[in-house]
Structure 1
Protein backbone atom coordinates (compact mmCIF):
# COMPACT_ATOMS: atom_id res chain seq x y z
CA UNK A 1 0.00 0.00 0.00
CA UNK A 2 1.14 3.56 -0.72
CA UNK A 3 2.50 5.54 2.26
CA UNK A 4 0.31 8.40 3.50
CA UNK A 5 1.61 11.37 5.48
CA UNK A 6 -0.69 13.11 7.93
CA UNK A 7 -0.29 15.68 10.68
CA UNK A 8 0.47 13.73 13.84
CA UNK A 9 -0.79 14.52 17.31
CA UNK A 10 1.23 13.73 20.41
CA UNK A 11 -1.44 11.24 21.48
CA UNK A 12 -1.38 9.47 18.11
CA UNK A 13 2.40 9.14 18.27
CA UNK A 14 2.90 8.18 21.89
CA UNK A 15 -0.17 5.92 22.05
CA UNK A 16 0.63 4.06 18.84
CA UNK A 17 1.51 0.41 19.45
CA UNK A 18 4.43 0.94 17.03
CA UNK A 19 5.90 4.01 18.79
CA UNK A 20 8.30 2.30 21.21
CA UNK A 21 9.69 0.03 18.50
CA UNK A 22 10.13 2.99 16.15
CA UNK A 23 11.93 4.98 18.85
CA UNK A 24 14.21 2.04 19.62
CA UNK A 25 15.08 1.52 15.95
CA UNK A 26 15.63 5.26 15.51
CA UNK A 27 17.93 5.39 18.53
CA UNK A 28 19.93 2.32 17.41
CA UNK A 29 20.45 3.74 13.93
CA UNK A 30 21.02 7.40 14.60
CA UNK A 31 22.36 7.88 18.11
CA UNK A 32 25.77 9.53 18.04
CA UNK A 33 25.56 11.05 21.51
CA UNK A 34 25.76 8.55 24.38
CA UNK A 35 23.76 10.92 26.61
CA UNK A 36 20.65 9.84 24.69
CA UNK A 37 21.01 6.10 25.20
CA UNK A 38 18.51 5.80 28.01
CA UNK A 39 16.45 8.90 27.26
CA UNK A 40 12.77 8.57 26.43
CA UNK A 41 10.84 11.13 24.39
CA UNK A 42 9.37 13.91 26.53
CA UNK A 43 5.64 13.91 25.80
CA UNK A 44 4.94 17.17 27.66
CA UNK A 45 7.74 18.99 25.86
CA UNK A 46 6.33 17.96 22.49
CA UNK A 47 2.85 19.08 23.54
CA UNK A 48 4.23 22.45 24.67
CA UNK A 49 6.24 23.02 21.50
CA UNK A 50 3.23 22.21 19.33
CA UNK A 51 0.99 24.49 21.41
CA UNK A 52 3.56 27.28 21.06
CA UNK A 53 3.45 26.89 17.27
CA UNK A 54 7.13 26.07 16.88
CA UNK A 55 6.77 22.37 16.07
CA UNK A 56 4.67 20.60 13.48
CA UNK A 57 4.79 16.81 13.66
CA UNK A 58 3.99 14.47 10.80
CA UNK A 59 3.44 10.74 10.70
CA UNK A 60 3.81 8.40 7.76
CA UNK A 61 1.39 5.50 7.70
CA UNK A 62 1.22 2.28 5.70
CA UNK A 63 -1.97 0.25 6.04
CA UNK A 64 -2.99 2.55 8.93
CA UNK A 65 0.20 1.65 10.85
CA UNK A 66 2.61 4.37 11.95
CA UNK A 67 5.93 3.55 10.23
CA UNK A 68 7.78 6.84 10.68
CA UNK A 69 7.64 10.38 11.95
CA UNK A 70 9.06 13.81 11.46
CA UNK A 71 8.97 16.82 13.75
CA UNK A 72 9.54 20.09 11.91
CA UNK A 73 10.72 23.04 13.99
CA UNK A 74 9.60 26.45 12.74
CA UNK A 75 11.57 29.33 14.21
CA UNK A 76 12.22 32.98 13.45
CA UNK A 77 15.94 33.74 13.67
CA UNK A 78 16.66 37.28 14.91
CA UNK A 79 20.23 37.13 13.59
CA UNK A 80 18.81 36.87 10.08
CA UNK A 81 16.31 39.68 10.48
CA UNK A 82 13.57 37.46 11.83
CA UNK A 83 13.50 35.19 8.78
CA UNK A 84 11.68 31.97 9.42
CA UNK A 85 13.79 28.83 9.29
CA UNK A 86 12.60 25.24 9.38
CA UNK A 87 14.56 22.23 10.50
CA UNK A 88 13.90 18.65 11.39
CA UNK A 89 14.08 17.80 15.07
CA UNK A 90 13.38 14.19 14.14
CA UNK A 91 13.06 12.43 10.80
CA UNK A 92 12.81 8.66 10.79
CA UNK A 93 11.17 5.83 8.86
CA UNK A 94 11.47 2.18 9.85
CA UNK A 95 13.95 0.37 7.63
CA UNK A 96 11.28 -2.14 6.55
CA UNK A 97 9.29 0.66 4.88
CA UNK A 98 11.98 2.70 3.14
CA UNK A 99 11.94 0.80 -0.15
CA UNK A 100 8.25 1.66 -0.56
CA UNK A 101 8.94 5.40 -0.65
CA UNK A 102 7.73 6.25 2.85
CA UNK A 103 10.89 8.23 3.64
CA UNK A 104 10.79 10.42 0.54
CA UNK A 105 7.05 10.93 0.95
CA UNK A 106 7.61 12.05 4.55
CA UNK A 107 10.52 14.33 3.61
CA UNK A 108 8.50 16.02 0.85
CA UNK A 109 5.63 16.58 3.30
CA UNK A 110 8.09 18.17 5.75
CA UNK A 111 9.26 20.47 2.95
CA UNK A 112 5.64 21.46 2.36
CA UNK A 113 5.20 22.25 6.06
CA UNK A 114 8.31 24.45 5.96
CA UNK A 115 7.09 26.26 2.86
CA UNK A 116 3.60 26.81 4.31
CA UNK A 117 5.22 28.30 7.44
CA UNK A 118 7.08 30.85 5.32
CA UNK A 119 10.52 29.24 5.51
CA UNK A 120 12.72 29.46 2.45
CA UNK A 121 13.77 25.85 2.84
CA UNK A 122 14.28 22.97 5.23
CA UNK A 123 17.39 22.04 7.20
CA UNK A 124 17.61 18.28 7.70
CA UNK A 125 19.89 16.83 10.34
CA UNK A 126 21.43 13.51 9.37
CA UNK A 127 23.62 11.23 11.48
CA UNK A 128 27.22 11.07 10.27
CA UNK A 129 27.71 7.93 8.20
CA UNK A 130 24.00 7.11 8.21
CA UNK A 131 21.63 6.28 5.38
CA UNK A 132 20.01 9.72 5.44
CA UNK A 133 23.38 11.43 5.00
CA UNK A 134 23.95 9.39 1.84
CA UNK A 135 20.45 9.89 0.44
CA UNK A 136 19.93 13.64 0.92
CA UNK A 137 22.35 14.92 -1.79
CA UNK A 138 20.49 12.88 -4.41
CA UNK A 139 17.27 14.59 -3.32
CA UNK A 140 18.64 18.09 -3.92
CA UNK A 141 20.05 18.81 -0.44
CA UNK A 142 23.53 20.19 0.11
CA UNK A 143 25.63 20.21 3.23
CA UNK A 144 25.47 23.56 5.01
CA UNK A 145 26.79 22.91 8.53
CA UNK A 146 28.52 20.37 10.69
CA UNK A 147 27.35 19.94 14.24
CA UNK A 148 29.76 18.87 16.95
CA UNK A 149 29.14 17.64 20.45
CA UNK A 150 31.29 17.58 23.54
CA UNK A 151 29.96 15.90 26.64
CA UNK A 152 30.75 17.04 30.13
CA UNK A 153 34.25 16.10 31.12
Structure 2
Protein backbone atom coordinates (compact mmCIF):
# COMPACT_ATOMS: atom_id res chain seq x y z
CA UNK A 1 0.00 0.00 0.00
CA UNK A 2 1.17 3.48 -0.85
CA UNK A 3 0.25 6.47 1.34
CA UNK A 4 0.69 9.77 -0.45
CA UNK A 5 -0.52 13.30 -0.98
CA UNK A 6 -3.09 13.11 -3.74
CA UNK A 7 -4.12 15.63 -6.36
CA UNK A 8 -7.25 17.41 -7.51
CA UNK A 9 -7.36 14.89 -10.38
CA UNK A 10 -7.44 12.10 -7.79
CA UNK A 11 -10.50 13.74 -6.24
CA UNK A 12 -12.11 13.92 -9.66
CA UNK A 13 -11.42 10.22 -10.14
CA UNK A 14 -12.54 9.20 -6.65
CA UNK A 15 -15.73 11.29 -6.80
CA UNK A 16 -16.33 10.69 -10.52
CA UNK A 17 -19.95 9.65 -10.09
CA UNK A 18 -21.13 13.08 -9.00
CA UNK A 19 -20.76 16.75 -9.73
CA UNK A 20 -21.85 17.98 -6.33
CA UNK A 21 -20.83 21.44 -5.16
CA UNK A 22 -18.89 19.82 -2.32
CA UNK A 23 -16.69 17.96 -4.82
CA UNK A 24 -15.87 21.24 -6.54
CA UNK A 25 -15.25 22.91 -3.16
CA UNK A 26 -12.67 20.22 -2.29
CA UNK A 27 -11.00 20.44 -5.72
CA UNK A 28 -10.71 24.22 -5.41
CA UNK A 29 -9.29 23.86 -1.88
CA UNK A 30 -6.61 21.44 -3.10
CA UNK A 31 -5.75 23.65 -6.07
CA UNK A 32 -5.47 26.72 -3.80
CA UNK A 33 -3.38 24.70 -1.28
CA UNK A 34 -5.74 25.19 1.65
CA UNK A 35 -6.57 21.47 1.58
CA UNK A 36 -4.20 18.54 1.37
CA UNK A 37 -5.79 15.32 0.22
CA UNK A 38 -4.03 12.22 1.54
CA UNK A 39 -4.82 8.77 0.23
CA UNK A 40 -4.00 5.12 0.63
CA UNK A 41 -3.52 3.52 -2.76
CA UNK A 42 -3.49 -0.18 -3.52
CA UNK A 43 -0.21 -0.46 -5.42
CA UNK A 44 -1.36 -3.37 -7.57
CA UNK A 45 -4.67 -2.00 -8.77
CA UNK A 46 -3.79 1.72 -8.30
CA UNK A 47 -7.21 2.02 -6.65
CA UNK A 48 -7.64 4.67 -3.95
CA UNK A 49 -8.86 2.78 -0.89
CA UNK A 50 -8.50 5.38 1.84
CA UNK A 51 -8.67 9.12 2.29
CA UNK A 52 -8.09 11.90 4.78
CA UNK A 53 -8.18 15.64 4.21
CA UNK A 54 -6.17 18.34 6.02
CA UNK A 55 -7.65 21.82 6.12
CA UNK A 56 -5.01 24.40 6.98
CA UNK A 57 -7.65 27.08 7.48
CA UNK A 58 -11.43 27.04 7.87
CA UNK A 59 -14.30 29.47 8.13
CA UNK A 60 -14.83 27.88 11.55
CA UNK A 61 -11.71 28.90 13.48
CA UNK A 62 -12.46 26.22 16.10
CA UNK A 63 -11.56 23.73 13.34
CA UNK A 64 -8.52 25.36 11.70
CA UNK A 65 -7.09 28.85 11.89
CA UNK A 66 -4.30 28.94 9.30
CA UNK A 67 -1.70 29.55 12.00
CA UNK A 68 -1.32 26.70 14.47
CA UNK A 69 -4.46 24.55 14.19
CA UNK A 70 -5.34 22.22 11.29
CA UNK A 71 -8.58 20.28 10.77
CA UNK A 72 -9.00 16.69 9.57
CA UNK A 73 -12.11 15.33 7.92
CA UNK A 74 -13.48 12.58 5.68
CA UNK A 75 -11.24 9.89 7.18
CA UNK A 76 -12.13 6.63 5.44
CA UNK A 77 -10.67 3.24 4.64
CA UNK A 78 -12.74 1.03 2.34
CA UNK A 79 -14.45 -1.76 4.24
CA UNK A 80 -12.55 -4.59 2.50
CA UNK A 81 -9.25 -3.04 3.65
CA UNK A 82 -10.19 -2.23 7.25
CA UNK A 83 -8.51 -4.03 10.15
CA UNK A 84 -5.03 -4.00 8.53
CA UNK A 85 -3.64 -0.95 10.32
CA UNK A 86 -3.91 1.22 7.20
CA UNK A 87 -5.95 3.87 9.00
CA UNK A 88 -3.34 4.15 11.74
CA UNK A 89 -0.54 4.43 9.18
CA UNK A 90 -2.42 7.10 7.25
CA UNK A 91 -3.16 9.08 10.41
CA UNK A 92 0.48 8.91 11.57
CA UNK A 93 1.76 10.22 8.21
CA UNK A 94 -0.79 13.03 8.20
CA UNK A 95 0.05 14.05 11.79
CA UNK A 96 3.75 14.08 10.88
CA UNK A 97 2.96 16.33 7.91
CA UNK A 98 1.01 18.74 10.11
CA UNK A 99 3.94 18.90 12.56
CA UNK A 100 6.35 19.55 9.67
CA UNK A 101 4.22 22.53 8.64
CA UNK A 102 4.67 23.99 12.16
CA UNK A 103 1.15 23.44 13.45
CA UNK A 104 0.77 22.32 17.08
CA UNK A 105 -2.95 21.52 17.24
CA UNK A 106 -5.21 19.28 15.18
CA UNK A 107 -8.96 18.96 15.27
CA UNK A 108 -11.11 16.22 13.81
CA UNK A 109 -14.84 15.90 13.22
CA UNK A 110 -16.82 12.79 14.10
CA UNK A 111 -20.53 11.97 13.96
CA UNK A 112 -22.10 12.63 17.34
CA UNK A 113 -23.36 9.06 17.78
CA UNK A 114 -20.36 7.11 16.41
CA UNK A 115 -18.92 5.84 19.68
CA UNK A 116 -16.52 3.45 17.92
CA UNK A 117 -14.83 6.29 16.02
CA UNK A 118 -14.96 8.63 19.02
CA UNK A 119 -13.13 6.01 21.10
CA UNK A 120 -10.57 5.43 18.33
CA UNK A 121 -9.91 9.17 17.96
CA UNK A 122 -9.65 9.56 21.74
CA UNK A 123 -7.06 6.74 21.81
CA UNK A 124 -5.08 8.63 19.13
CA UNK A 125 -4.99 11.70 21.37
CA UNK A 126 -8.01 13.60 20.06
CA UNK A 127 -9.38 13.75 23.58
CA UNK A 128 -10.56 17.31 24.15
CA UNK A 129 -14.15 17.91 23.02
CA UNK A 130 -14.31 21.45 21.64
CA UNK A 131 -17.94 21.56 20.57
CA UNK A 132 -20.84 19.80 18.93
CA UNK A 133 -22.24 21.46 15.81
CA UNK A 134 -24.61 20.91 12.91
CA UNK A 135 -22.99 23.42 10.53
CA UNK A 136 -20.64 21.64 8.11
CA UNK A 137 -18.47 24.25 6.41
CA UNK A 138 -17.06 21.57 4.11
CA UNK A 139 -20.38 20.35 2.71
CA UNK A 140 -21.81 23.14 0.61
CA UNK A 141 -24.82 24.00 -1.52
CA UNK A 142 -24.78 25.35 -5.09
CA UNK A 143 -24.06 28.87 -3.79
CA UNK A 144 -21.13 27.66 -1.66
CA UNK A 145 -23.00 28.07 1.62
CA UNK A 146 -22.40 25.52 4.38
CA UNK A 147 -25.12 22.96 4.90
CA UNK A 148 -26.70 21.88 8.14
CA UNK A 149 -25.95 18.26 8.86
CA UNK A 150 -26.49 15.71 11.60
CA UNK A 151 -24.74 16.77 14.81
CA UNK A 152 -21.04 16.05 14.90
CA UNK A 153 -18.34 16.62 17.49
CA UNK A 154 -15.04 18.35 17.04
CA UNK A 155 -12.15 16.98 19.07
CA UNK A 156 -8.71 18.51 19.63
CA UNK A 157 -5.27 16.90 19.78
CA UNK A 158 -2.32 18.98 20.99
CA UNK A 159 1.02 18.15 19.44
CA UNK A 160 4.33 18.34 21.28
Mark yes or no: TM-score above 0.5.
Answer: yes
Answer yes or no: is 1:99 the counterpart of 2:83. yes
Quote the residue 2:141 is aligned against: none
Quote the residue 2:94 is aligned against: 110
Kindly indicate whether the alpha-carbon contact (under 8 Å) linking 1:68 and 1:93 is maintained by their aligned counterparts in 2. Answer: yes
Gaps of 5+ in 1: 24-38
Q: How far off its partner does 1:41 sit? A: 5.9
* Structure 1 Cα separation of the partners of residues 16 and 112 of structure 2: 24
* Structure 2 Cα separation of the partners of residues 119 and 126 of structure 1: 21
Quote the residue 1:144 is aligned against: 129
State the TM-score, normalizing by the size of structure 2: 0.66
Structure ranking higher on relative contact order (CA contacts 8 Å, 6+ apart): 1
Gaps of 5+ in 2: 136-147, 149-160
3-state SS in 2 of match to 1:146: strand
Kindly indicate whether the alpha-carbon contact (under 8 Å) linking 2:37 and 2:53 is maintained by their aligned counterparts in 1. Answer: yes
3-state SS in 2 of match to 1:42: helix
Q: How far off its partner does 1:20 sit? A: 6.3
State the TM-score, normalizing by the size of structure 1: 0.69
Q: How far off its partner does 1:47 sit? A: 2.6
Residue among 10, 13, 17 paired with 1:12: 10
Larger strand share, 1 or 2: 2
Q: How far off its partner does 1:93 sit? A: 1.3
Runs of 4+, deviation exceeding 4 Å: none
Residue among 71, 74, 78 paired with 2:56: 74
User: What's the RMSD between the two structures over aligned residues?
Assistant: 3.0
Segment of structure 1 superposing worse, 108-117 or 39-48 = 39-48
Larger helix share, 1 or 2: 1
Count of equivalent residues: 129
